[in-house]
Amino acid sequence: MNYLLHLLIYLDIYLIVAMSLNLLIGYGGLLQVAHAAYYGIGAYAAALIMLKLGWGFLPAIGLAMVVAGILSLAVSIPAWRFRGDYFVMVSLAVQSVAYSLLYNWIDLTNGPFGLTGIPRPSIFGYKFDSMRTIALFSSIITGICILGMVLILRSPWGRLLKAMRDDELAARSLGKNTRLVKLQTFMIASALAAVAGSLYAAYVSYIDPTSFTLDESILMLSMVIVGGTGNIRGPLVGAFILIAIPEALRFVQIPDAVAANVRLMVYGLLLIIMAHFRPQGLAGTYRIQ
Amino acid sequence: MLTRTAVDDMTTIRDAKELNSVILSARGLHKTFGGQVVLRNVNFNLRKGEVVLLQGENGSGKTTLLNILTGNLEPDVGELHLSVNSTQEVFRWPRRWWQNLNPFDHFTPERIAWEGVGRVWQDIRLFSTMTVLDNVVLSSPRQAGENPIIALLRLGRVNKEELYNQEQASKWLNGLGLGDRLHSSCDKISLGQMKRVAIARAVQAGAKILFLDEPLSGLDGIGVAEVMRYLDTLVHTNGLTVVIVEHVFNIPRVLDLATTVWTLADGHLTVESKDKVWRNPKITTVFNPYDWLKEVAGPGGKVETQELKQGARLTSAIPSGTENAPVVLEVKDLVVRRGYRTVLDGLSLKLHRGQLTLLEAPNGWGKSTLLDIITDVLPLQSGNIILNGESINSLSTDKRVRRGLGYLRSRKPVFGSLTISEHKRLPEGSNFIFSGHSQDGDTKANLLSGGQRQKLLIEMLPDASVYLLDEPFIGLDAGSIPLLLKELSRLIAEGKAIMVVMPES
């Protein structure tokens, strides 16, 4: 039972991550590979706030969202000028810089040794310390995020985001400030990634930079591409599948030494198959250019 | 059709003083590209309620001027004065380096749009994944729901505003005869409908000056009438100021509405009276393809017309001696479906050696689709295509071209980073002796105007036995059309088969 609850918590965390990345890729047409960096920034920010300032979980999540939102300017401002492949390179640079900072800023992040003893979530004195309660808590947070995402994407803002994706110049010629929309999109997506990171930090109680590498960004990207972009369903399907694959592989007798590589090969194969047969993903509506 | 009482907030402009007020003026605009001067000391005043026809030869700088006036391009030198709203905005170039540091003082399309300047693009640029209604509602200015925080926290206010904007947009679209297409996806409507949606979108965005880049190109007769009727209503009822760039074929239609003509030549802009342009037969003589067909058929030849399904017409010029010429291209029982809709239902046609065939059909008939299928740009679903006696159903595009098919896909992009000379070396052998370039061969294709690109596409046509030309005259200036007609006549005399596809006039 605990194993299933553990999977549910991980699924919740990645649902938020995939949904936030889909906001950038599927709705904004902004392909980036730095999402693990913002997931990590959220995790570290929430952990440090709880450990060093002694704040509760909810205020820590709130501040982590603000920190990630502000730091999203590192990718959103270049997005004003760069598009396509060049923008991917910019986001790759941001991912590398963020990872290096987490790894080398030892005074703050404790470098490769990571942060230990991160408290479990607690709200108004109630501590979520069993698997069952954490799973319930993470599902509620995920539900709120999905609801917020549905509302915002159905709003005129969501429509403007899609217009920018379809034809940015046409949107600008109608008087739409697409630079502002890009800033907002990156802020929302990064803040949501920070929510997922905070949940992750509070759940596992220990974080180190190796959880927020480029490989993690590629996993997140795979979830969005495999599941599909341009609607809410796609990333949910993608997160489910890519959480399920490694778990399924556990039941196949693969030596531990090669298990990680096999997992990466499976992701790669899946991406190739999707790109060839279903470029819009399993449940997506928008085809990534 | 939009009736003059259809839109509540339309205000009738009757004040002569207001009509004469200058709302946009340019002083000394100058622009060069790669050392080549495109605009030289351009000056003009645009008055409220004016309808301007902007004309010029290919490469004369019409699109460059349009790009500058809509904030898409900055001139090297000059001034623009905009006073559409109560305040006057002045933009001066060259700008000082420190002016560029101010993020709120940039010359951008959105800033010009806020000042009441709208643009309808030559390639329309609707948001194709959205419905017709959403395209127009989206363009409403100053929407509170475009702020994500308000969108989340003030749902009631956003919904109320959205309903109001939908009502306004529906009124425009109903008036345009698009009431039954409000919820159609924008990639599923005809070209004429797309152009009307684009105009409605710009007006909903609050445009008081509207720049239209070839609003009539590619439209059939019905589409042209619809767009012109709508523009007429906007100008006369709503007091909209309009600048239209239009292809030479459609200039007579625009002149009916125009009050002023701007002519660009050698980078200079001259303001001419409408009467003077009316007196120029080169401009106002409407190209009649049937006269051309008769000329190609020649004495002793004949012109035959065959009616096809859904309002299309196939007219062939059969010169004397080619009555029994062999069939070089045959299309048999072609069926094309797009989703649930059958576009072409059992179409059959034959092209004979040494004959010219004109296919005219309404927008949305599937003219370009037909040519794309014959050349395998789109896959064949059902039917048979025979070239020079052999089925080519299983051959790829390159193999079909090598077997003798030449295909002109008009308005398709050329290779921007290649020079004109490099383009000309791409085909294995070109039979077209058609040139109208003033640029030298080292000019890169991305510096060419729309008309010049069209000329380059024609020049690049490989040597072929059958030419399929999709709207070959589109974008060409008055001087280039006779040259192309002469060249096509020469090829027919050499025994080539040519099919020209055009919208129904």
- CA atoms lying within 13 Å on the CB side of residue A283: 15
With beta carbons under 8 A apart, name residues in chain B contacting A178.
110
Answer yes or no: do B71 and B215 share one domain.
yes
Task: Tell if the CB–CB gap between A173 and B126 is shorter than 8 Å.
Answer: no
Of residues B70, B71, B129, nearest to A162 (C-beta): B129
Residue B200 CB partners (closer than 8 Å, separation 6+): B136, B169, B172, B173, B176, B178
Q: CB B158 to CB A169 under 8 A?
A: no
Regarding predicted confidence, which is higher, B43 or A280? Answer: B43
Question: What domain range is B404 assigned to?
Answer: 289-503
Rounded CA-CA distance A15/A13 in Å is 5
Q: How is residue B295 written in tokens?
A: 């000329």
Residues B439 and B495 in one domain: yes
Residue B188 lies in a domain: no
Residue type, A89: M
Interface touch A167/B125, C-beta < 8 Å: yes
Q: Do B138 and A160 touch (CB under 8 A)?
A: yes
**ipTM value of the model?**
0.86
Residue A235 lies in a domain: no
Search chain B and give the residue with CA nearest A167. Answer: B127
Residue B145: closest CA among chain A residues belongs to which residue?
A156
Q: What are the Cα distances from residue A15, in Å, to A67, A223, B384?
A: 21, 9, 50
Question: What is the pLDDT, as a whole number, of residue A185?
Answer: 97
Q: What tokens were used for B297?
A: 């058929």
Q: Is the pLDDT of residue A256 over 50?
A: yes
Q: Report the domain count for chain A.
A: 1
Q: pLDDT tens digits, residue range A71-97?
A: 999 999 998 888 888 899 999 999 999
Q: Answer whether residue A97 is part of any domain.
A: yes
Based on the fold, state whether residues B267 and B330 are members of the same structural domain. no
Average pLDDT over residues B267-287: 78
CB contacts < 8 A, A to B, total 90
Residue A276 is assigned to a structural domain of this protein: no
pLDDT of residue B438: 53
Residue spans of alpha helices (H) in B20-89: 62-69
B345 phi/psi in degrees, rounded to 5: -120, 90
Distance from CA of A54 to the nearest CA of B (A): 29
- The continuous run of DSSP H or E covering B500 comes out as strand B497-503
Query: How many residues comprise chain A?
Result: 289
∠ CA B304-B308-B310, nearest 5°, is 145
* Cα–Cα distance, A108 to A87 (Å, whole number): 29
What's the average model confidence in pLDDT over B422-432?
77
Across the interface, whether the CB atoms of B130 and A163 are under 8 A apart is answered yes
Number of domains making up chain B: 2
Give B-chain residues touching A27 at CB under 8 angstroms.
Answer: none
Please indicate whether, in this complex, the C-beta atoms of A175 and B143 are within 8 angstroms of each other.
no
Given CB atoms, is B122 within the 8 Å cutoff of chain A? no
A176 vs B contacts (CB less than 8 Å): 110, 146
User: What's the pLDDT band for B433 if we cut at 50, 70, 90?
Assistant: low
The residues that bridge with B405 in the sheet, in sequence order, are B466
Whether A59 maps to a domain, the answer reads yes
CB-nearest partner of A166 from B72, B109, B128: B128
* pLDDT tens-place string over residues A164-220: 999 999 999 999 999 999 999 999 999 999 999 999 999 999 999 999 999 999 999
Query: Mapping DSSP to helix (H, G, I), strand (E, B) and coil, where does residue A281 land?
Result: coil
What number of residues does chain B have? 505
Of B284, B308, B332, at which residue does a domain stop? Answer: B284
| A140-159 per-position pLDDT tens digit | 999 999 999 999 999 999 99
Give the best-scoring range by mean pLDDT among A194-198, B103-107, B412-416, B481-485: A194-198
For residue A109, give both structure tokens: 């992040």
Which amino acid is present at A240?
F
Q: Report chain B residues whose CB lies below 8 A from the CB of A65.
A: none
Q: Which CATH number do you get for residue B232?
A: 3.40.50.300
Is A233 inside any structural domain? no
Q: Based on the domain organization, do B473 and B368 belong to the same domain? A: yes
Instruction: Tell me, yes or no, if B127 comes closer than 8 A to chain A by beta carbon.
Output: yes
pLDDT above 50 for A9: yes
Tell me what the mean pLDDT of segment B57-83 comes to: 93
Residues of chain B in contact with residue A145, where contact means CB-CB under 8 angstroms, are none
Whether residue B261 is found in the same domain as residue B303: no
Handedness of CA B7, B209, B228, B196 (dihedral sign): negative
State whether B274 and B294 are in the same domain. Answer: no
CA distance A174 to B114: 8
Tell me the whole-structure pTM to 2 decimals. 0.83
State the nearest Cα–Cα gap between A72 and chain B, in angstroms.
16
Domain limits for position A46: 2-210
How far separated are the first and last CA of chain A, in Å rounded? 42
Q: Is B41 within a domain?
A: yes
- The answer on B346 and B247 residing in a single domain is no
- For chain B, give the percent of residues with pLDDT over 90: 53
Residue B144: name the closest of B130, B131, B134, B158 by CA.
Answer: B158
Tokens of A8: 């549910």
A157: nearest CB among B121, B125, B151? B151
Q: For A167, which DSSP code?
A: -
Q: Is position A160 within any domain?
A: yes
Cβ-proximal residues to B468 (8 Å cutoff; 6+ apart), any chain: B371, B374, B375, B405, B406, B407, B408, B499, B501
Q: What is the distance, to the nearest Å, from the Cα of residue A27 to the centroid of all Cα atoms in its chain?
A: 15
What average pLDDT is seen over chain A?
92
Give the phi and the psi of residue B395 in degrees, each rounded to 5: -90, 145
